[in-house]
Structure 1
Amino acid sequence: MERNVRLRAVCLAGPSDAGKTTLVEQLVPRLADSGRVGTIKSIHHDIEVDTPGTDTHRHRTAGAETVVGITPAMTFEVTTHGKDAPPAADGDALLASDDPEVQALSRTLERLARRGYDIVLVEGFSQSPLPTILVGDREPAAVGGPVVGRGDDAIDDLVDTIRSLEPLEC
């Protein structure tokens, strides 16, 4: 019997260099006091996160869809499905959308929910229907979700807002 996982997720949306990452850095330790916190970062250009020539890079370039590296201190996962080609849904999507970027976000949120995360801060993905904290001069009409706060709100108020969000049913 699969348990009903409840996850709170919020987007932080704003222009480049508006302070989104700094706000994430301030929110994570406060939210982690009461549960598992994960973050998702939207990156608008391709980067190489796995050093060419390493064994894990060789596994991926040989054709593995997902490669997991486990070190003494960290575990990391590299999966070939990004925004351009998100993995197919197993059933109903958590976030209903025809947008491949939102579909990729939805699949990632579902994975984190299954892994037992309580809160996920999503930096970027401004067109998702998730509750959104506006950072910088972004206008409410420029985001896909309801605005629940602003980056210049008191940090304790933002923490309370995030903790009080309606959980997503996963």
Structure 2
Amino acid sequence: MKVYGVIGWKNAGKTSLMERLVAEITGRGFTVSTVKHVHHDVDLDHPGKDSFRHRQAGATEVVLASAHRFALMREHRGPEPELPQVLARLAPVDLVLVEGYKRDAHPKVEVWRAETGHPLIQPADSLVRAVATDTNPGPLPVPVLDLNDTAAVADFILREVGLAPV
């Protein structure tokens, strides 16, 4: 599986770009999965529900299964899993897009908007291969992509991971 990250500061537009990229890339016939790093507890469950009770009783994994999808919840009861551990749990696809995990060692595109008030991450991270923005960030040693041109950002990522002609 090819892995490519979308990083940036809060409210820069990472999730909107991810959503558009998934639609664009799957529309081209590739299979895509996503991983999103969050800084709060994730819980699809509610106290009193059967699956919640299974977890509370000590189950390591609980699967909620229906006719159209299933959700696997895993209690790791330890430190937060590293990205490679998370990726190892995924079914094979052509491309995994990772939102967040900005300090991990995979190639990334940075989403940057001046109005967030944060500096660019790219100058300090050589794995940021391009910056997608809706403004002029000034001279950079990497390509600057139009944040609103989803097809161009998708082209760049697919070329980077070897899924499109160079």
1:148 shift after superposition: 3.4
Q: Report 1:7-26 matches (<5 A).
A: 7-26=1-20
Ranked by relative contact order (alpha carbons within 8 Å, sequence separation 6 or more), the top structure is 1
State the distance in 2 between where 1:82 and 1:150 align: 37
- Residue type of the alignment partner of 2:8: G
Q: Please tell me whether the aligned partners of residues 8 and 166 of structure 1 are also in contact (alpha carbons under 8 angstroms).
A: yes
Which residue of 33, 38, 44 corresponds with 2:39?
A: 44
- AA aligned to 1:84 is P
| Counterpart position of 2:69 | 74
- 1:111 matched residue in structure 2: 89
SS at match of 2:84: helix
1:159: Cα distance to partner? 0.9
Distance 1:134 1:83 in 2: 30
Unpaired segments ≥5 residues, structure 2: 114-119, 135-145
SS state of the match for residue 135, structure 1? strand
**Cα gap change, 1:52 to 1:16, in 2 (>3 Å):** same
Question: Contact 2:122–2:131 at 8 Å: present in 1 too?
Answer: no
Name the larger-Rg structure: 2
SS at match of 2:109: strand
Tell me the matched-pair count: 142
Please list the CA deviations of residues 109-131 of structure 1 after superposition, one character each: whole Å capped at 9, or x if unmatched.
Answer: 1222xx22111111100001111
Change (3 A) 1:143 1:53: farther
Match of 2:57 among 59, 62, 82: 62
1:89 maps to: none
CA apart distance, 1:16: 0.8
Identity %: 32
TM-score, normalised with respect to structure 1: 0.74
- Contact 2:3 / 2:95 at 8 angstroms: preserved in 1? yes
1:155 is aligned, of 145, 150, 154, to 150
Q: Deviations over 1:54-113 (max 9, x none)?
A: 111111111111111101222101111288243xxxxxxxxxxxxxxxxx211121222x
1:49 deviates by 2.1
CA distance in 1, matches of 2:100, 2:7: 5
